[in-house]
Amino acid sequence: MGDQHVIALDLGGTKLAAGVLDREGGVIRRAQHTTDTSSEDALLAQIERSIDELLDEQVVALGVGIPSLIDQRAGRAGASVNVPLENVDLRDRLAERFGLPLALENDANAAALAEHRFGAGRGAEHMVLLTLGTGIGGGLVLNGELYRGAVGAAAELGHMVIDVDGPRCQGLCPGFGHLEALASGTAARRLAEEVAEAQPDGELARARASGGIVTGVLAAELASAGHGDALEVMERIGFHLGIGIASYVNIFNPELVVIGGGFAQAGDLLLDPARRVVAERALPLARDVVRIVPAELGPEAGLIGSGLVGFEAFDAAPVR
């Protein structure tokens, strides 16, 4: 008998990554597709096809990471971000179709598991993960285990209020002044627009005038090159990030706060202002032990974490 493998999926709004993984997080084979967002049926069919094309007799379970609120009682994808999945009993549907143990997991939770096992969080007992992108995803590892809450909907850390009078949050969220609305890549883009407007001689204004969309990532690149107006954007966003992290530090007393996601490539330009706020505003003891560090696994974290929950499902399944 050969080694046991799982098929892992990491579904995002633009791409669907699939892979065959071993227990050490190694990716043995992989495939990538442009996410079919035309309809729910089309997307479900694409998910099934992407599993089908990787299946072989060594595959013992499936792990599926989705950008959704998940009700783990029913294995149901509730509301989703950027993909047409709403109130779908995805776990039953795929388990029936493939006859294998299967776990569904929120994508940021999966990334937290992966960083904890194989990345920046190795050895930590208590870890907070934030993924900065269009939105802000969150994951919590407490007492060495992923914390899922009562039904699986926990750790939506991007949806903590940091300004009660702040702007409306994004997408499906009915809240105002959430961290996601003030420290995501989207928030950086909005702020960069404002700064470009206010400083017409600055580098952000120049980038915009030459036809570029001033994204959060572009603002980060201009800040890395030392341009003052872009640095101002990173400083402000990093401040908001630090306000949020200071509360997580007070509540959870983690050893580590791990920052990943596309916009996190801003690195210390973003993390240093956040570290300063935490040092100034979080409670003693907790603030003295926490370290705020970049993630290590990059865009692979979601896929690797989905593989880990696939193995969890296999290990928990009754012996057949």
Q: Which residues bind Zn ion (CB under 5 A)?
A: 159, 169, 173, 175, 178
Of 35 and 170, CB closest to Zn ion = 170
Rounded distance between C-alpha atoms, residue 165 and residue 163, angstroms? 5
* Nearer of residues 131 and 265 to Zn ion, judged by Cβ: 131
Q: What's 256-309 look like in SS3?
A: EEEEECHHHHHCHHHHHHHHHHHHHHCCCCHHHHCEEEECCCHHHHHHHHHHHH
Closest separation in Å from C-beta 173 to Zn ion:
3
- Whole-number Å distance between alpha carbons of 57 and 312: 19
Strands (E), the chain: 5-11, 15-21, 27-34, 59-66, 68-71, 76-80, 102-106, 127-132, 136-142, 145-146, 256-260, 291-294
- Cα(first)–Cα(last) distance of the chain, in Å? 16
- Least Cβ distance, residue 75 to Zn ion (angstroms): 25
Residue type present at position 123 = G
Min dist CB 129 to Zn ion, Å, is 17
Q: Closer to Zn ion by CB, 78 or 175: give it.
A: 175
Side chain identity at 260, as an amino acid letter? G
Using an 8 Å Cβ cutoff, are 31 and 18 in contact?
Answer: yes
Check: CB of residue 19 under 8 Å from CB of residue 7. yes
How far, in Å, CA of 174 to CA of 178, rounded?
10
Residue whose CB is less far from Zn ion, 7 or 237: 237
DSSP 8-state class, residue 254? -
Quote the least distance from Cβ 69 to Zn ion, whole Å: 12
Cα(97)–Cα(171) distance, integer angstroms? 31
Q: How far is the CB of 136 from Zn ion (least distance, A)?
A: 9
Residue with tokens 């980060």: 220
The minimum distance between CB 24 and Zn ion, in angstroms, equals 36
Nearer to Zn ion, 9 or 81 (CB): 81
Nearest-angstrom CA–CA distance, 161 and 177:
5
Q: How far apart are CB 319 and Zn ion at their closest, in Å?
A: 43
Residue 164 CB, shortest distance to Zn ion, in Å, is 13
What is the rounded distance in angstroms from the CA atom of residue 169 to the CA atom of residue 50? 33
CB of 192 to Zn ion, least distance (A): 21
Nearer to Zn ion, 102 or 182 (CB): 182
C-beta closer to Zn ion: residue 157 or 274: 157
Query: 114 or 140: whose CB is closer to Zn ion?
Result: 140
Q: Which CB, 51 or 162, lies closer to Zn ion?
A: 162
